[in-house]
A = this chain, B = another copy of it.
Amino acid sequence: MKEPYRWPENIRAAFCFTIDVDAESPQLWRGRRQTSLSMNELEQRRYGLREGIWNLLETLRRYEVRATCFVPVYEAETRPWLLEALARDNHEIGLHGVLHEVVSELTPDEFARIVEKGVETVVRRTGTKPAGFRSPAWEMTPWAFDVLQKAGLSYDSSLSGHDHPYSLDDTIEIPIQWPIDDAVFFRYSGTGNDRWPPRSTAETVKSWLDVCEGIERHGGAVIPTVHPWLTGRSYRIPLAEALLEHARNTAGLWICTAGELAAYHAASPNLGSFRHSRELPVPSSFMLQGELACLSA
């Protein structure tokens, strides 16, 4: 009844390691109307591009895995060595806003300029045009897909409508999963706004490997997300190692970048099968009227 996703021969599932390379930008965007910033949170975040990114890059090199790195312009421009270092190790670079802006809080025009600025920055610093976008906070809007397409991007990686690549109208979606996003488990600002304590690395390793195995068993694509200031922290590197170790030791697993996944999907028989509309349901106020109308009919 459910059509399985069709992979290349001898492949039964895919694995794509992604890094959201944001440091201060989410805090700056969130606090853009405030006069002060938590210095504690800021120093935590800065760790990411002082130590964390090097810990992650070294680990990836050790396992010979290429990651997909979504980098806000702010981080790329304040650390001029950053995009170059990622490109040198052959990692894919995707867009992640200028200042980690939440898309639904922007106008389409503002978002278009932000995407344009991102493309320009990556081309200027690496010579390669980016193919993908990951929405800050993983929040998209239907109109944002049009902006991505006009800018020549081929995929988005922010939603969870399948466990494998799929299409939302003409954009390819490379699906993420909250249970393998490190921010859910490790972010702890200490500012009094936290709603749960940081999870231990060992517990996280266990639960993430369960997710990997579950998706692989069903023939999907495992797409974990890590941050340099969280998983890049010395005592969380074992999470990255466990994932890469698992991927390396799993037969029939295609270790690839998000761009490679998107390109495969675009050229494969899956394209037609897993196509959905990105449109939201009709406004709910209208639905309720419709509902009540149909009830009173």
Which residues does A use to contact B, with CB under 8 Å?
1-2, 24, 28-29, 31-40, 42-44, 46-47, 50-51, 54-55, 57-58, 74, 85, 98-99, 104, 110, 113-114, 116-117, 137-142, 158-163, 178-179, 184-185, 188, 190-192, 194-203, 206-207, 210-215, 217-218, 220, 233-238, 276, 278, 280-281, 283-285, 287-288, 291-292, 294-296
CA distance A195 to B36 in the complex (A): 25
Contact status B202-A161, CB under 8 Å: no
Q: Determine which of B39, B188, B206 lies in contact with A202 in the assembled complex, contact meaning CB atoms within 8 Å.
A: B206
CA distance A175 to B58 in the complex (A): 23
Q: Determine which of B57, B163, B190, B207 lies in contact with A200 in the assembled complex, contact meaning CB atoms within 8 Å.
A: B207
CA distance A137 to B178 in the complex (A): 23
Copies in the complex: 4
Contact status B57-A1, CB under 8 Å: yes
Q: Across the interface, which residues of B come within 8 angstroms of A185, CB to CB?
A: 197
Q: Across the interface, which residues of B come within 8 angstroms of A276, CB to CB?
A: 46, 50
CA distance A89 to B11 in the complex (A): 32
Q: Determine which of B33, B190, B200, B294 lies in contact with A206 in the assembled complex, contact meaning CB atoms within 8 Å.
A: B200
Given the known interface contacts A117-B294, A207-B200, A210-B202, the answer about A190 and B47 at a Cβ–Cβ threshold of 8 Å is: no
A253 → chain B, closest Cβ, in Å? 15
Q: Determine which of B117, B139, B213 lies in contact with A39 in the assembled complex, contact meaning CB atoms within 8 Å.
A: B139
